[in-house]
């Protein structure tokens, strides 16, 4: 995608607006330098009319103009995509004290790489409902600890479908005890994730991912051992059999780790013994 400089136009109401966008179309803005959107950022909050769009994509420095945009009140955005290749690209919007950036009525929100850190600053219109939240390409260095602060408003959003792909397991911490029941939860780990390391790391501190409908639960079997969750039926009744399975699964993992540690200690003892023997000679 070519980098472009965006110019402001004046509407009939003497309000700044971007170049006219046909109703029901896609609006994509990529800015790889801050100077490309600096004029827009000076216009003030909710002060740029972009009309009715169905898909809105903001890349890198363009994310900083999100507070400046105003969508039609009756407009429903089918998909809002935010992508940032680094935290530096979002310094302006992340430095704002308010966590009240209204993104209006959105059906699907996509956050890629460092854009996940903007999540606590976003606010949904009306009933705080979101059809789908899609998070992709997030590794450990992408995530800020403040993203998972328990006081963040997004924990109370009503989300039907959550999909996390090519990301580290730590991203699942966006779920907590305040989170809603999910119709669907799909997690695709990064290929570089070492399953055995994950098991050891989360053996005593599994990641709580809340309540999910059994029909929409999609996880690799090995990853389930690192999680704590409650599967429910369509009426919201918990599946007690699955809870028992979780306990048994964690018991097997604990036993496997215990055997591994015991073997390592045995080998270490032999090595120390051999070393002492060599010292005698």
What digits encode the pLDDT tens for the residues 153-191?
Answer: 777 788 899 999 998 888 888 887 777 889 999 988 877
Structure tokens at 34: 């801050």
What pLDDT score does 281 carry?
Answer: 37
Is the pLDDT confidence value at 20 over 50?
no
Q: How many Å apart are CA 13 and CA 11, to the nearest integer?
A: 5
Q: Give the model confidence (pLDDT) of 28-62 as tens digits.
A: 888 888 887 777 777 665 567 777 788 889 999 88
Is the pLDDT confidence value at 82 over 70?
yes
User: Is there a contact between 238 and 231 (Cβ–Cβ < 8 Å)?
Assistant: yes
What pLDDT score does 170 carry?
Answer: 82
Mean pLDDT of 199-221: 78
Mean pLDDT of 232-238: 82
Give the residue extent of every domain in the chain: 9-280
What pLDDT score does 136 carry?
Answer: 93
Q: Which of 106, 101, 150, 98 is nearest to 128 (CA)?
A: 106
Is the pLDDT confidence value at 8 over 60?
no
- Residue located via tokens 């609006």: 27
Please state whether beta strands 25-31 and 53-60 pair in parallel, antiparallel, or not at all (unpaired).
parallel
Percent of residues, the chain, with pLDDT higher than 70: 69
Q: Give the model confidence (pLDDT) of 127-161 as tens digits.
A: 678 899 999 999 888 877 777 765 667 777 888 99
What pLDDT score does 240 carry?
Answer: 65
Q: How many Å apart are CA 153 and CA 124, to the nearest integer?
A: 10
User: Is there a contact between 103 and 131 (Cβ–Cβ < 8 Å)?
Assistant: no
Please state whether beta strands 217-218 and 184-189 pair in parallel, antiparallel, or not at all (unpaired).
parallel
**pTM for this entry:** 0.74
User: Is there a contact between 87 and 55 (Cβ–Cβ < 8 Å)?
Assistant: no
- Residue located via tokens 């909050």: 45
Q: How many Å apart are CA 88 and CA 159, to the nearest integer?
A: 29
Is the pLDDT confidence value at 18 over 70?
no
């Amino acid at each position: 995608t070519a980098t472009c400089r965006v110019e402001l136009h004046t509407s009939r109401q003497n309000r700044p607006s971007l170049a006219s966008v046909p109703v029901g179309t896609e609006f994509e803005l990529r800015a790889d330098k801050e100077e490309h959107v600096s004029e827009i950022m000076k216009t003030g909050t909710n002060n740029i009319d972009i009309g009715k769009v169905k898909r809105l994509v903001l890349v890198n420095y363009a994310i900083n103009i999100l507070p400046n945009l105003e969508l039609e009140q009756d407009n429903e955005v089918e998909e809002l995509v935010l992508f940032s290749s680094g935290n530096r690209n979002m310094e302006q919007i992340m430095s704002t004290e308010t966590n009240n950036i209204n993104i209006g009525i959105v059906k699907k929100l996509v956050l890629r790489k460092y854009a996940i850190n903007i999540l606590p600053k976003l606010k949904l219109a009306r009933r705080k409902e979101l059809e789908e939240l899609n998070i992709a390409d997030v590794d450990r260095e992408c995530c800020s600890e403040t993203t998972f602060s328990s006081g963040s408003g997004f924990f109370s959003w009503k989300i039907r479908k959550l999909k996390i792909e090519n990301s580290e397991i730590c991203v699942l911490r966006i779920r907590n005890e305040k989170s809603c029941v999910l119709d669907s939860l799909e997690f695709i780990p990064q290929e570089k994730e070492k399953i055995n390391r994950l098991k050891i790391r989360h053996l005593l501190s599994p990641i709580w991912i809340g309540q999910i409908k059994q029909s929409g639960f999609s996880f690799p079997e090995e990853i389930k051992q690192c999680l704590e969750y409650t599967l429910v039926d369509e009426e919201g009744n918990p599946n007690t059999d699955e809870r028992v399975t979780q306990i048994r699964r964690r018991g097997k993992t604990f036993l496997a780790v215990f055997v591994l540690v015991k073997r390592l200690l045995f080998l270490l003892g032999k090595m120390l013994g051999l070393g002492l023997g060599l010292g005698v000679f």
